[in-house]
Amino acid sequence: MKTRTRTRTLVAAALVLGVVSGPAVAAHAAGTPAAVAAATDGRVRAAGAQAPLFSSPPDAAALERAIAGLGADHPEATAALVRVGGTSGSWKGSSGVADVRSGRGAIEDARFRAGSVTKTFTAAVVLQLAAEGRLDLDRPVQEYLPGLLPGGPGGFEPVSVRQLLNYTSGLRSADGPGDAFADEYAHRFDVVDPRALIANAAAKGPESRPGEKQHYSNIHYTVLGVLIEKVTGTTYEKAVSQRILRPLGLRDTSFPARTQTRIPGPHNHGYQAVPQPGGGSSLVDVTEWNSSSNWAAGDLISTTADLERFTVALFGGKVVPRPQLEEMFTVPDVQDAETGEHAVQTAGLKEFRLPGGAVVYGKTGARFGYNTVIGGSRDLSRTLVYSVNSTDAKGRDMNKVAMGIVGAAFAK
């Protein structure tokens, strides 16, 4: 399938900011929450007076190579949608097929499951509430949600809201149907209550003391989803919609209903490669799936255009006020519980160190059939959003197509 791309060089930051300034200013006039209304004069302030991290346009040829040849016979992915932006220039491309049976080309503006990119939206709402004085990041979540994490012998010490945001709460993960794809596929239409997940995790007791180690898992953000509902007095979905989706005009972004299994609107199918007894593998369509078990940690549905708009607005201080935004660029000084290395997760984002030492921030997401990334440099000289229809989206190793996209997007 032929790769479809479009290259365009931007000569001013204003062209990048145009995708967000309108909705944010309109939101301010409409009296929306203070955090989203924090747009000032429509300009991104770079970190200090330093030169931009990226000053040359993205390498179009390298990006085209990264997504070339995708489809039913590709060993890694059936499709990819990519948007590279920033003050240094932009590039947009797509490749592959929307459906391996028909072979029709990938839909460029397709909706997809964004997985754990949802956590960035959840963290943004929590930080908005902190900016409004409705939440104290240092206050124990047990004071907001009594009985959710019981104390006493063998129970939980006070867990702060900040420790939930940066995965240092010490909570254990909730049990699922199993680790193998076959187990999860058999339960793909199950409807799961998030409070039941929290109860399951809490019954195991703490894994470590709060603030001692970082252990990335969904349970932290499942608790934060319940916290958002308690503080706002509305559903998690409505809170995110009212505070982020509507003000920014993210019209193709949504949260599925509890029993919803389909992706609304145009979308590319997702597939999982399943090994066969005689060798080789076959593709199983995993597009329809109930994502209630992921909820505030991973059930967002979006597009690359919407996620680019959100990323630029977020990094530019238009979603979360800058004092609270620093939480999203601050890595706690602890070790990772699994690797023993220094932590890399922040409140809703992750720190990535590029070859040469440059630092960018972003968030990955993985749902069967779909790998997603949002991120960029803090100065917004380079941003990246992609959706890759990986055939092993939850594999331990990073998808090779996605790895090629990241390497090409952030090459200097």
Q: What CA–CA distance (Å, rounded) separates 219 from 167?
A: 9
Contact 369, 287 (CB under 8 A): yes
Tokens of 317: 């201080």
**Number of neighbouring beta carbons within 10 Å of residue 152:** 6
Ramachandran bin of 96, using left for φ above 0, alpha for ψ from -120 to 50, beta for the remaining angles: left
Rounded CA-CA distance 112/361 in Å is: 22
> How many other C-beta atoms can be found within 10 angstroms of the C-beta atom of residue 4?
14
What contacts 277, CB < 8 A, 6 or more positions away?
Answer: none
- Report the candidate in 108, 89, 86 with the shortest Cα–Cα distance to residue 97: 108
Q: Which of 222, 235, 242 is nearest to 118 (CA)?
A: 222
116 catalytic, yes or no?
Answer: yes
State the Cα–Cα distance between residues 294 and 115, nearest whole angstrom: 8
Catalytic residue among 21, 88, 90, 116: 116
- DSSP letter string over 35-78? TGGG--SS----STTPPPS--SPP-HHHHHHHTTT-STT-SSEE
Residue pair 403/72 in contact by the 8 Å Cβ criterion: no
CA distance to 65, 73, 176, per residue, from 185 (Å) = 33, 22, 12
Query: Which residues touch 245 (CB under 8 Å, ≥6 apart)?
Result: 253, 254
Q: In this structure, which amino acid lies at residue 258?
A: R
End-to-end, the C-alpha distance of the chain in Å comes to 29
| CA–CA separation, 305 and 208 (whole Å) | 40
Would you please indicate which residues are annotated as catalytic (active-site) residues? 116
